[in-house]
Structure 1
Amino acid sequence: MPDYPSQPEKHLAILGWPDKYPKNKSSLPEKNLSMNKLLLFALILFSHQVLAQKLTKTESKLLSVIDKNYAESLALLQETVDINSGTLNMEGVREVGRVFEREFAKIGFQTEWITLPDSLKRAGHFVATKKGTKGKKLFFIGHLDTVFEKDMPFYPFTMINDSTATGQGVNDMKGGNVMIFATLKALHELGLLEDRTVTVYFTGDEENAGDPSWVSRQDFVERAKASDIALGYETAQGFSIATIARRGASGWTLKTTGNQVHSAGVFRETVGYGAIYEAARILNQFREELAGEQYLTFNPGQIIGGSDIRYDENTGTGEALGKTNIVAREAFVTGDLRFLGEEQKENARKKMSTIVSQNLNGTTAEIKFEDGIPSMPPTSGNRALVDILNKVSLDMGYGAVKAGDPGSRGAGDISYLAEFVDCIDGLGASGTGAHSPAETINMKQYPDLMKRSTLFIYRLLNY
Structure 2
Amino acid sequence: MTGLTPAEQHLLAPVERAPILAHTLDWAAINSGTAHLDGLATMAERLAGAFAALPGEVRLVDPAPVEKVDSQGRTREIAHGRHLVLSVRPEAERRVILTGHMDTVYPVDHPFQTCDWLDDNTLHGPGTADMKGGLALMLAGLTAYEQSSPTLGYDVLINSDEETGSLSSAPLIAQLAQGKLAALTYEPALPGGQMARARPGSGNYAVVVHGRSAHAGRNPEEGRNAVLAASDLALRLAAMRRPGLSVNPAKIEGDAPNNTVPDLAILHFNMRPATPELAAEAQAHIKAAVAEVSAAHEVHMHIHGHVSRPPKAISEQTEALYGVVSKAAADLGQPMSWKDTGGVCDGNNIAACGVPVLDTMGALGGSIHSPDEFLLADSLDARARLTALVLHRLDRNGVLPE
Q: In structure 2, do the counterparts of structure 1 residues 350 and 369 end up closer, same or farther at CA, with 3 Å as the change threshold?
A: farther
SS at match of 1:172: helix
Flag structure 2 segments of 5+ consecutive residues without an equivalent.
66-76, 398-402
Partner of 1:192: 148
Q: What is residue 297 of structure 1 aligned with on the other side?
A: 246
Q: Distance in 2 between matches of 1:239 and 1:418?
A: 28
Superposition map of 1:217-236 within 5 A: 217-236=170-189
Q: Which runs of 5+ in 1 are unaligned?
A: 1-50, 308-321
Tell me which of 113, 127, 130 is aligned to 2:85: 127
If the length of structure 2 is used for normalisation, what is the TM-score? Answer: 0.85
- SS of structure 2 residue aligned to 1:408: coil
Equivalent in 201, 205, 229 of residue 157 of structure 2: 201
Structure 2 CA distance for aligned equivalents of residues 440 and 208 of structure 1: 21
Higher CA-based Rg: 1
Sequence identity percentage = 23
Distance 1:265 1:250 in 2: 41
Task: Give 1:139's aligned residue.
Answer: 97
In 1, distance between residues paired with 2:80 and 2:379?
33
Which of residues 425, 437, 444 in structure 1 aligns to 2:359? 425
1:408-446 CA distance string (max 9 Å, x none):
222425524532422221111122222222222223444
Contact 2:237 2:249 in 1 (8 A): no
| Corresponding residue for residue 370 of structure 1 | 305
Give runs of aligned pairs for residues 306-455 of structure 1, distance below 5 A: 306-307=255-256, 322-323=257-258, 325-359=259-293, 362-371=297-306, 372-402=308-338, 404-405=339-340, 407-412=341-346, 415-455=349-389
Structure 1 116/87 Cα, relative in aligned 2: closer, same or farther at 3 Å?
Answer: same
Distance 2:250 2:297 in 1: 26
Please give the per-residue CA displacement for 1:216-263, whole angstroms capped at 9, x wherever unaligned: 433332232142111111111145532343322222112334453444
Matches of 2:28 and 2:98, distance apart in 1: 20
User: Post-superposition, which runs of at least 4 consecutive aligned residues in structure 1 deviate over 6 A?
Assistant: 132-135
Alpha-carbon deviation of 1:135?
7.6
Q: 1:376 to 1:210 in 2, by over 3 A?
A: closer
**Cα offsets for 1:169-190 (capped at 9, x unmatched):** 22222121112101011223xx
Q: Are 2:211 and 2:299, in contact at CA under 8 Å, matched by a contact in 1?
A: yes
Q: Distance in 1 between matches of 2:114 and 2:322?
A: 34
The question of whether the paired residues in 1 share the 8 Å contact of 2:213 and 2:224 is answered with: no
- C-alpha distance in structure 2 between counterparts of 1:73 and 1:284, whole Å: 48
Check whether the contact 1:275–1:330 (CA below 8 A) recurs between aligned residues: yes
Change in Cα spacing, 1:108 to 1:412, as seen in structure 2 (3 Å) is: closer
Q: Which residue does the alignment assign to 1:247?
A: 200
**1:38-92 alpha-carbon deviations (Å, 9 max, x no partner):** xxxxxxxxxxxxx44x1112332344322xx311110100111111112222232
- Work out the number of aligned pairs and report it: 384
The change in CA–CA distance for 1:456 and 1:117 in structure 2 (over 3 A counts) is closer
Query: Matches of 2:224 and 2:352 in 1, distance apart?
Result: 46
Higher relative contact order (CA 8 A, sep 6+): 2
Deviation (angstroms), 1:273: 7.4
Deviates more, 1:110-119 or 1:139-148: 110-119
Structure 1 residue 398, shift from structure 2 partner: 2.6
- Residue 59 (str. 1) matches residue 18 (str. 2): no
Aligned-pair distance for 1:158? 2.2
Q: Contact 2:236–2:289 at 8 Å: present in 1 too? A: yes
Structure 1 residue corresponding to 2:226, chosen from 264, 275, 279: 275
Q: CA RMSD in A?
A: 2.8
